[in-house]
Structure 1
């Protein structure tokens, strides 16, 4: 059994017991979150597609980690002008462990 959920403007395929990184969600490590924007649920031969979401379907997950991704360096330069700019960015994320698909 698997489902397609939407969170943080992206879509993810999830199954019970799987782990995934999503855009930062509010909550502490160990908290339970509910993903209610379920776009598709597949259980064996039966597939339910939502328009846009499947009514009554939800996915429960546990927050495993709240952290930042690896640093991405941004370097800008304009030739012959002496303009150089170096910045770094670390995107925050939330790691989830999927408990069940209801």
Structure 2
């Protein structure tokens, strides 16, 4: 069984037991979270598609880890203008472990 849900403006396809990396969530490690914006739900035989969201379906998950991605460099440069600007960015993330997909 797998589900597609919406979080942070992005769609994620998950199944039970999977660990996914989402944008930073302000929750503590080990805390329970429910995702209620389920767009699609599928098992071996049946597929349910929401219009746009399935009601009475949700995903139970737990916060597994917080961290930051590798640093990326942003370079702005204009030739012959004596202009060069560098900047770095590290995007924060949260790892979430999917425990159960509820299909009511």
TM-score when normalising by structure 1: 0.97
- Distance in 2 separating the partners of 1:33 and 1:67: 18
What is aligned with 2:59?
A: 59
1:17 aligns with 2:1: no
Equivalent runs, 1:1-102 vs 2, <5 Å: 1-102=1-102
| Structure 2 gap segments, 5+ residues each | none
More strand by proportion, 1 or 2?
2
Count of aligned pairs: 102
Give RMSD over aligned pairs.
0.7
TM-score when normalising by structure 2: 0.95
1:57: Cα distance to partner?
0.6
Give CA-to-partner distance per residue, 1:29-66, whole Å, 9 cap, x none.
11111111100010211111000011111001111111
1:62 partner SS? strand
1:25: Cα distance to partner?
1.2
1:20: Cα distance to partner?
0.6
| Structure 1 gap segments, 5+ residues each | none
